[in-house]
Structure 1
Amino acid sequence: MIIGIVVLSTVLPKGNSSKTKDYSLYTVKAQADDIFKGSVIAKTSTDYRDDAALGELSQVNVSDGQEVKAGDVLLTYTKPTDDLSSQEFAIKGAENDLANAQADLAEAEKKDVKLRNDFNKSKDDSERQAINAQIETNHESWKAAQRAITTSVLARDQAKAALDGQKAKQTATVTAKTDGFVIMGNKSETSPLLSVVSRDTLVNGKVSEYDYDKLKVNDVVTVETIDLAKKITGKITYISPVPEKASSETAASQYAFKVNLDEHLQNGYTVQIHKKNETLYIPKSAVKNGKVYLKNGKKFDRVAVETKETTSGLQVISGLKIGDKLIKEASDYVDTP
């Protein structure tokens, strides 16, 4: 009887074998970042071309590399207007009339002083009456000279205003629309005379049609310079709905997107844009009847997972997180009652 008990104990399976057996485990890992190419560009860049409608370009008021503020004069144009000589002649005529009227006034004032002195010295009534009549006549001349002065001043000021207005029409200026630095171009039909480029920069990225759905507006990304010397964060602010013109019929469509940077990067840098890949994958063999065996201390818990088969493997929709350890071959696991 003792011998039989020993034999049976070696043949029958033990109920807790699934808890003690060593299984090959799979650790849920983070995927490598999605990486896109990009370049640092100015946030704003405004071109200023030669505008014949404003007249003939007479002066470029800025130099290459100069920093300007919005409203600063960049270009000055001159265009022909009506002959200015008529207005200049009118000014001279009014000034001449003014000088004559002032001379007449001075003469009338001088004569009035003399007549009044004569009147005071005279003892003869008839002579005094004659002098008084001359005083009244001279007073009318004095008033006429005053009126002539007023008229001449008004005519002169009007002629000057008309001349200033005509001169103003001869010049037109173009001012900067934004703050920035001046980049000089050349006077041609295809190139601007100059551009004003902002100090602030952003990243212009490219994404292919195969990865287009991986990006969303407001996604946080990391921008890294090619030399790995600088790495800063940013946020996607725009994704073009229209592809750029393909270089060939067989080339994949490319879409532009923009990243606002949390720090400044030098205009012109070539960069890599890293988008964290939060997609999780597990081996197909790790799933048994819609569940996986998740390591929990010294035992395994059966956990329901939602998955989807993709070309890259079995994608986890829900139920697992990075760092979880599960039995790689779920079929090897023997469930215990």
Structure 2
Amino acid sequence: MTTFSESYEEQATEARQALAKAQRQVNQQQQAVEQAQRQLAQLSREDEGYTEMQTQVTTARNQLEDARGEVTDAQNKLNTLNGRVNGTVTAPFAGTVTVEYDKTGQPSVTLSSDDLQLSTQLSEYDYPKVKVGQELKVTALATKHEQTTNLGYLANTPAQNSKANDSKYELTAPLDGTKFMAGQTLNVMITQTGVQIPQSSVKAGHVYVVEAGKAKRVAVTGTKSNGSFIVKSGLNKGQRVIVDPDKGLKDGKTVETND
């Protein structure tokens, strides 16, 4: 489906006018440089006003470079807007497209898949963690049927039900119609790389692990996520981490565990 944006077309028209104005400014500054250079060439170093004319030439050249920079900026802006005036949208799966128009003439496009699709939303806070093609594990809550599938589509614009500071983004993935049915409630798990530990375990970029009955201070790197800390380096799966170390805990101190 091809699209056309009237608002971007208006902005592109303004950008073309700004570019033309910037180009005229370059031409004027180029003439000013050439005129100043001719006047300087008529003077010798001993002539009165030679130094002042040198300054005028330098100033004219600097203004010319500034004008050329404005042309470059205006051209880049126009290129960006031209790319947004006309667009192409490709459906993430085969199906039937229905187009409806509201009272103002704005179109609403609905795509109904020929095959069963998982359809859910992703928070803006989790958006950077997933990508198209990533593996998903889907489980039906009622029947416990499971399937491993791959993320087929991830929207780059917020869903209509998004709220301030909590944008939602639509995602879809193909499902096996013999295991699931339309309207079912599903649990979706997306595997993430890294070791997940409680955020309270991390103090000043370090955690304490238990080795041979003693606490060992280990540096870790990673990111915070919903009360957890996703470790990218410093820990391995299976290590025992002290969940909430107190200020008195030191490296090498003997600790007791209840596991």
Both structures adopt the same fold (TM-score exceeding 0.5):
no
Q: TM-score when scaled to structure 2?
A: 0.42
Q: Taking CA–CA contacts closer than 8 Å with sequence separation of 6 or more, which of the two structures ends up with the larger relative contact order?
A: 1
